[in-house]
Structure 1
Amino acid sequence: MTLVAEHTSAPPLLSVIVPSHNVWPWISETMQTILGQDLRDLEVIVVDDHSTDGTREILAGFQSRDERVAVIDATEFGGAAARNLGLQHASGRYLAFCDADDLVPRGAYHALVNSLEASGSEIAFGDFLKFSPTATWRPTSGWPAFAQPRVGFTLIEQPSIIRGRAVWNKVFRRDFWERVDIRFPESARSNDIVPMLTSYLAAQSFDLVDEIVYLYRERPGGSSMTSRARSSVSLRAYLEQELSCAELVAGQGDHGVSSVFAGVFREADGWKHLAEHLSAPERESDDDLEIGRLLDEIIRRCLVSGSIGSAACGAPCSHSHAAATSPARRSSSW
């Protein structure tokens, strides 16, 4: 079923922004899933970040065959700059983002846009799966907000939505995005967690549709995000972004939101990044002092917001440097 007719000169209903860099094995499948959506009134803005592996040539083929595709060559380096450049060219009423190696199930954008059209909310979420060559799993299975479809709910009512801070399983109203003036910071790691948290804190209401709207590909080998996360530079970049998130949450002042954020950092995202770094066979230790300082600052922000009790944190946060330097020990701060 087609939601609306394919656009010609009028602005499209949806702009899909796709940053790409050296993804030739996957980009064709990604583009096919986007262009094969039953919501056909969309534009696909692909910003190619200096690919050297044939990705750009594949994209040129899609652009020549489908007028909805626009391929733009990045002027700067990095995924954040590519997304920001794509945003400058977006003309749709709604915004979506897709990574250039992932998949969008048929009907995903139809469901998300239809929900926003009906409800007037600023952001629509959908469920997602992650897959590798050997497994498929649902990260949201333990997130209360994803237990059932919802329309017009608030962050205070369902604070567990902040457990998901990736940009790709959502559709946003473009006027909301521009009003809040959201931009992606250039960071070696996790450049969407601050923009997403900013959008959550600014939105008046959210929808959660019942459909699986995104399939995230876990890529094996040195090009994967997991592999890059093992470097100290990557860990520092992640922690700097997480510190900005902690400051935003502390400023928001809601205990429920603060508690969920602290749990995500302490038990999931933060611990995962630190554990990956500590388990690296040839771990870089030059940045351990700075990593320890960032850990302390994040935990202090959580203390200020009341989301981690002082007994849990230590006296005060005294073990975070140990966590950054000892792979065998998980700090009591966590």
Structure 2
Amino acid sequence: MRRWLSRGPLVGVVIPAYGVERWLDECLGSLVAQTHRRWEAVIVDDGSTDRTGEKADAWAARDHRISVVHQANAGLGAARNTGAAHVRGDYLAFVDSDDLLQPTALRTLVDSLEASGSDFATASALHWLSKDDSDLDGPLTEPRWLRRLHTPPMRSARIEQRPELLGDIFAWNKLFRRSWWDERAMSWPEGVRYEDQPTTTRAFLEGTFDVLGETTYLWRIREGSITQTRATVQDLADRWETKRRSLASVRAHGSVEVEEIFLDRVLAGDLWRYFQLVPGCSTQWWRLLRSGVLELWGQRSLVHSGLLPVHRLAGWLVEQDRRADVVALMEWVATLDGPAPRVQDVATGTWRLSVPHAVLDDTTVDPAALRLRDHEVGS
């Protein structure tokens, strides 16, 4: 028994891989360098057409802790599920094959769960923008919103204590207790993009969790390819589907407060990226954007959301089917060097956005869509 304890828990690591011959060595090198040595990894070669599978096999030949599953291309969710079915362990981790782990990542997460007994742990991450698919050359930064979610640290928490954590949607910054994962029949959605959110939402709603302030993960953002994909109808349809599934889980959970925070601060959080794409979008894409906004926020309106003021205004305009006004607003916002100008109403003392009349006739806008909140005045 003492000998087993000295070896520590076994961590099963799932690494889905598709077309990553350029980055796989870096990823696996960061795994081999872990200070927690007791792990086993399954690389799922998801029908790669480059040398990804060959490189994975070479790593497996060098390190007995690594194995490879080759399968026909089925997408990220399916590859993760395949990996989870093949890997052993007391704990379960998912690592994207173009990212890296900090050297103490597994040790930090394992130690927290061993001490708390929680169902899973989540840590913060550093990211860098890889505009030309270059190797890791920085600068590495911790997203402010991710730092905010992980401050202060907590042990054995429930979602009612910090509902905003539903915005921590990533698979890769977490470590799950394998027995809990299996008992809950957890899995990743297949055949749809943005597959992280429905599963991590379920995890936060159903489990106890540790919130760690440490950064354990290095996240590569290949922004060009993401932006191109986001402008497609299929991408937007997938986004609405995963938001729809996540909201259904939150509503089934039954907490009015959690649902309100989820709708306003989490589910709406990335809409600004889509509003930016309205100039130049197709009619089909616009209709899909508006239908999703009305489906998810039609009873509440995005004017109540945690979006920045100009994006709350854009959301209201989307709700009203005012496409030309959204185009004009987003094109104007793109010319600004800082926050949009604001003005104070002399009679009431309230502050609101000040949009040039040539851009938008604000007399045709609900004052609630222009109003600033107290913390936004002067920011």
Q: TM-score, normalised by structure 1?
A: 0.84
CA 1:114–1:142: 2 relative to 1, 3 Å: closer
Note the 1:99-118 alignment, pairs <5 A: 99-118=96-115
SS of equivalent residue, structure 1 residue 114 = helix
Distance between the aligned counterparts of 1:15 and 1:116, measured in 2? 15
Aligned to 1:184: 188
How far is 1:21 from its partner?
0.5
CA 1:324–1:191: 2 relative to 1, 3 Å: farther
CA 1:321–1:285: 2 relative to 1, 3 Å: farther
Task: Say which of 153, 157, 160 aligns to 1:156.
Answer: 160
Cα deviations across residues 39-84 of structure 1 (Å, max 9, x unaligned)? 1111111101111121111111100000010110124421111011
Distance between the aligned counterparts of 1:175 and 1:41, measured in 2? 18
CA 1:97–1:299: 2 relative to 1, 3 Å: same
CA 1:16–1:22: 2 relative to 1, 3 Å: same
SS of equivalent residue, structure 2 residue 291 = helix
Contact 2:125 2:146 (C-alpha < 8 Å) held by counterparts = no
SS of equivalent residue, structure 1 residue 88 = helix
Note the 1:35-50 alignment, pairs <5 A: 35-50=32-47
SS of equivalent residue, structure 1 residue 71 = strand
SS of equivalent residue, structure 1 residue 56 = helix
Distance between the aligned counterparts of 2:294 and 2:56, measured in 1? 45
Cα deviations across residues 132-167 of structure 1 (Å, max 9, x unaligned)? 246433224466441122211211111121111011
CA 1:251–1:188: 2 relative to 1, 3 Å: closer
Letter in 1 for 2:210: D
Contact 2:113 2:210 (C-alpha < 8 Å) held by counterparts = yes
Cα deviations across residues 87-144 of structure 1 (Å, max 9, x unaligned)? 1112111111010100100001101011111111001011111112464332244664
Matched residue count: 314
The farther-off stretch of 129-138 and 226-235 is 129-138
Aligned to 2:135: none
How far is 1:220 from its partner?
4.5
CA 1:216–1:181: 2 relative to 1, 3 Å: same
Unaligned runs of 5+ in 1: 7-11
Contact 1:231 1:284 (C-alpha < 8 Å) held by counterparts = no
Aligned to 2:220: 217
SS of equivalent residue, structure 1 residue 46 = strand
Task: Say which of 290, 293, 298 aligns to 2:291.
Answer: 293
Letter in 1 for 2:128: F
Cα deviations across residues 148-206 of structure 1 (Å, max 9, x unaligned)? 22211211111121111011100001111111112211244211100110111110x21
Contact 2:40 2:89 (C-alpha < 8 Å) held by counterparts = yes
Task: Say which of 68, 90, 95 aligns to 2:92.
Answer: 95
CA 1:158–1:254: 2 relative to 1, 3 Å: same
Aligned to 2:278: 278
Task: Tell which structure's C-alpha radius of gyration is larger.
Answer: 2
CA 1:288–1:141: 2 relative to 1, 3 Å: closer
Identity %: 28
Distance between the aligned counterparts of 2:203 and 2:167, measured in 1? 14
Aligned to 1:14: 11
Q: TM-score, normalised by structure 2?
A: 0.74
Aligned to 2:349: none
Distance between the aligned counterparts of 2:39 and 2:322, measured in 1? 47
Contact 2:154 2:211 (C-alpha < 8 Å) held by counterparts = yes
Distance between the aligned counterparts of 1:302 and 1:202, measured in 2? 26
Distance between the aligned counterparts of 2:143 and 2:14, measured in 1? 24
Unaligned runs of 5+ in 2: 131-137, 306-311, 331-364, 370-379
Contact 1:125 1:207 (C-alpha < 8 Å) held by counterparts = yes
CA 1:123–1:290: 2 relative to 1, 3 Å: same
Aligned to 1:250: 251
Distance between the aligned counterparts of 2:298 and 2:118, measured in 1? 34
Letter in 2 for 1:190: Y
How far is 1:265 from its partner?
4.5
Distance between the aligned counterparts of 1:138 and 1:229, measured in 2? 23
Aligned to 1:85: 82
CA 1:119–1:293: 2 relative to 1, 3 Å: same
CA 1:191–1:301: 2 relative to 1, 3 Å: farther
Distance between the aligned counterparts of 1:249 and 1:324, measured in 2? 31
Distance between the aligned counterparts of 2:160 and 2:266, measured in 1? 19
CA 1:45–1:327: 2 relative to 1, 3 Å: farther
Aligned to 1:69: 66
CA 1:277–1:254: 2 relative to 1, 3 Å: same
Note the 1:115-264 alignment, pairs <5 A: 115-133=112-130, 135-141=139-145, 144-203=148-207, 205-221=208-224, 224-264=225-265
